[in-house]
Chain A
Amino acid sequence: MRRYIIPVIILGIAFLAFWIDRPNVSPLDIKSLNIERDLKIHQGLDLKGGIHLVYEGDFSKIEEKDRDKAQQGIVNVIEKRINALGVAEPVVQKGQIGSQKTIIVELPGITETEEAIKMIGQTAQLTFLEQKDEKWTETGLTGANLKRADVEMNQQTGEPEVAIEFNEAGAKLFKDITERNLQKQVAIQLDQEVISAPTVQTVISEGKAVITGKFDIKEAKNLAISLTSGSLPVPIKLIEQRNISATLGPESVKKSLLAGILGILLVALFMIIHYKTPGILAVFALAIYSLIVLALFKLIPVTLTLAGMAGFILSIGMAVDANILIFERMKEEFRAGKTVGAAIEEGFKRAWLSIRDSNISSLITCLILIWLGSGLVRGFAITLSIGILVSLFSAIIITRTLLRLFVNNRMEKWIKI
């Protein structure tokens, strides 16, 4: 019985992988383990189109020890703003260029590029000013006191404006300000620029105000989103931008997929012609390998880019390498007079060291690429590493188990090595 345990486990893994690989698989949601996966292949920017942005924060006014927190603060604010935009699968993460802290933003499938960039980059620091000795001075009421902001249409002028509502503390401050400045001007300043300076007509105690300015509906909407999501802790500057058009994506995917399938078929043909029965088993193991890798892409999940696809296809070429090393060694041992069974065991045992050492070398370079790389480069390195790891499993465990099954089942005489 025992010798069937591993084949059954392999079969189980293959079926599980196949189940995950199905095109319309339902999402995975294991509440107890806090695992939630939509089990879709996530397409990278180069396949789907979109924008890749890198911002650099101006942390000069923030103490060294608080900079990490400020950077996280920027990420949180940008995330909120993007969520309000309704972009699917956005990426907002911290980055580093030299000693400079950066924020990387990826927005797949976005069309209104300019507006999005404007909104993300807006510091949105709102301050209320009053006049003291004929000079504008801060009142202490800022965007931090906001509860929410919405776009409204002015009843009389028909112009868009932003209606704001203060939180409790803000409402109290605002009441005091309006009391102090009755029939006087109060200024609303956004990012160091006064955008309106209305004259206070009555004391406002319910904590509501309206910002009018010369904005169109889009600008008003963006301002409302920026204000609601809070201001950025420090100003940020766009230092890298890549607009990737989606028009090339589908065609490239189709071509590369075709290339991949052709490559796999050629490799399979080579293996079968060159190694006969073990070759057929290796091709079978390769099929399971592909199922597992694809399932892992969906589970982890890995964002697939064009380079990532190349990494996957390359890893197939590398996956058979291990099998070639083993089979060649088997042939050698067989020629030296060992039985088929013994030759198989020796082949695996003796080829293992070179397989281990060569794949660890590849993994070392992959890890360096993952550490070094940004978006696209990292995608390639991640898919290649997954490929290498699974290929080790496929070459060592799956192929060996299949070969052993053959030997044990008295089909030995069919094995040609």
Chain B
Amino acid sequence: MNFLGSKKKWWFIISGLIILPGILSLIFWGLNFGIDFKGGTILELRINPPGGEARNKDLKTEEIKDILKPLNLPGLTIVLTGDKTVLIKTAPIEKETVDKEKETLKAKYNEIEEVRYESVGPVVGKDLRNKALWAVGLACLFIILYIAYAFRNIPRPYSSFKFGLSAVLALIHDILVVIGVFSIVGHFTGYEVDAYFITALLTVLGFSVHDTIVVFDRVRENLRRLPGADFEAVANESITQTLGRSISTSFTVILTLLALFLIGGQSIKPFILALLIGVTTGTYSSIFNATPLLVLWQRKKKEAM
């Protein structure tokens, strides 16, 4: 089967179309960062309004907002998270203010129970943002360097560095898809990305490169076996030979992730979703982005010679 040749541009166009909505969403709406990144407090309370069970439906965000108004809480958002639970988010505030927040609500609703309380200082959030950028940057750099090193014995005139760069460009594509999807999801559902999101991104980085390496490894082997053959033909042959196993390896991982996503614990679902998207696009981009890129690149070099 021919995957390359004139089809190459179509794969890039498809990839472009897939990441375009996400990139637009990132430009116009950005990522919805949670308190891990921005700093702030989250207070989740179980409230039993006076009047018992029947009054559950009376729990309204507007009402709570009015009650808390005198406190002038900065960046206040209120979300109902369950039958009787409410999530109150603010920008970073002092502990005393949080206590006042609770007292005020207690005065109104009698019975309140704290389900969750998180407070992150602005310095902590900024630090995580920095570290996240560093982590993604470093991971890409080290993967380029490692692949360049691992492929250093490929026959001339092909450059092992280009293997590394092509692999990482495909990875950046995968990350863009994941970030884009979460930007869109965040805009429409209010979901905020947390520290786990960075973990998922890095795991996607590490995992997506698996399939790329499987194809590249075969290119490396075939180049040695068929000296002087056309690079594009060798690359195409390598994709054909490894397609089955690329799909199988991703399939087993997607299988375990799907099980976790469908019946696993609620709190890790967004994390698993990010992994699922990343692993799926990772398989696609290894075959349809990384290798075509490599072909374009290596061929240019050859023509120039």
> Which residues of A line the B interface, CB within 8 A?
46, 54, 56, 97-98, 100, 238-245, 247-248, 251-253, 255-256, 258-260, 262-264, 266-267, 270-271, 274, 306-307, 310, 313-314, 316-318, 320-321, 324-325, 328, 332, 350, 353-354, 356-366, 368-369, 372-374, 376-377, 380-381, 384
Contact = CB atoms under 8 A, between A and B. Distances in A.
B195 interface: yes
Given A98-B127, A369-B135, A361 B213 contact: yes
Given A324-B248, A365-B139, A248 B210 contact: no
B265 A251 contact: yes
Interface string B245-268: 100110111111111101111111
B195 A376 contact: yes
A374 B195 contact: yes
A328 B245 CA distance: 7
A374 B210 CA distance: 26
B275 interface: yes
A243 B127 CA distance: 21
Interface in B25-75: none
A97 B95 contact: no
Nearest to A96: B127
A98 B130 contact: yes
Given A324-B249, A325-B214, A240 B120 contact: yes
A120 B254 CA distance: 45
Contacts of B229: none
Contacts of B271: 307, 310
Interface in B142-187: 142-143, 146-147, 150
Contacts of B207: 318, 362
B24 interface: no
A253 B244 CA distance: 35
Contacts of B134: 372
Contact of B275 (A252, A314, A362, A368): A314
27 contacts: A97-B123, A97-B127, A98-B126, A239-B123, A239-B124, A240-B119, A241-B118, A243-B117, A245-B115, A252-B264, A256-B265, A259-B262, A266-B256, A267-B255, A307-B268, A314-B253, A314-B257, A317-B256, A321-B249, A324-B248, A328-B248, A358-B210, A361-B143, A361-B206, A364-B146, A365-B202, A369-B199
Contacts of A260: 256, 259-260, 264
B264 A259 contact: yes
A243 B118 contact: yes
B248 A274 contact: yes
A313 B260 contact: yes
B251 A318 contact: no
B43 to A, nearest CB: 9
B272 to A, nearest CB: 7
B241 interface: yes
Interface in B184-203: 195-196, 198-199, 202-203
Contacts, number: 208
A329 B109 CA distance: 67
Q: How large is the interface on B (under 10, 10 to 19, 20 to 34, 35 or more residues)?
A: 35 or more
Nearest to A98: B127
B268 A321 contact: no
Given A243-B116, A259-B262, A321-B252, A353 B217 contact: yes
B103 interface: no
A307 B123 CA distance: 25
B239 interface: no
B294 to A, nearest CB: 15
Q: Provide the main secondary structure of the chain B interface.
A: helix
B111 interface: no
A362 B256 contact: no
Contacts of B259: 259-260, 262-263, 266, 313
Contacts of A380: 196, 199, 203
A248 B205 CA distance: 30
A368 to B, nearest CB: 5
Contact of A332 (B114, B115, B241, B263): B241
Central interface residue in A359, A364, A373, A381, by most chain B CB within 10 Å: A364
B83 interface: no
Given A259-B260, A328-B248, A358-B209, A46 B267 contact: yes
A56 B195 contact: no
A334 B135 CA distance: 43
B121 interface: yes
A314 B256 contact: yes
Given A263-B259, A310-B271, A350 B221 contact: yes
Central interface residue in B130, B220, B248, by most chain A CB within 10 Å: B248
Contacts of B217: 353-354, 357
Given A357-B146, A358-B213, A372-B135, 14 more contacts: A97-B124, A239-B121, A252-B266, A253-B265, A306-B267, A306-B268, A314-B253, A317-B253, A318-B210, A358-B214, A360-B146, A365-B202, A365-B203, A381-B199
Contacts of A258: 263
B138 interface: yes
A243 B202 CA distance: 27
A278 B86 CA distance: 53
B131 interface: yes
A169 to B, nearest CB: 38
Contacts of A316: 256
B275 to A, nearest CB: 7
A252 B263 contact: no
A318 B221 CA distance: 23
A56 to B, nearest CB: 7
B146 A361 contact: yes
B193 to A, nearest CB: 13
A251 B266 CA distance: 9
B123 A242 contact: no
Given A252-B265, A318-B253, A377-B198, A54 B124 contact: yes
Contact of B121 (A240, A262, A267, A271): A240
Contacts of A353: 150, 217, 220
B282 to A, nearest CB: 11
Nearest to B126: A98
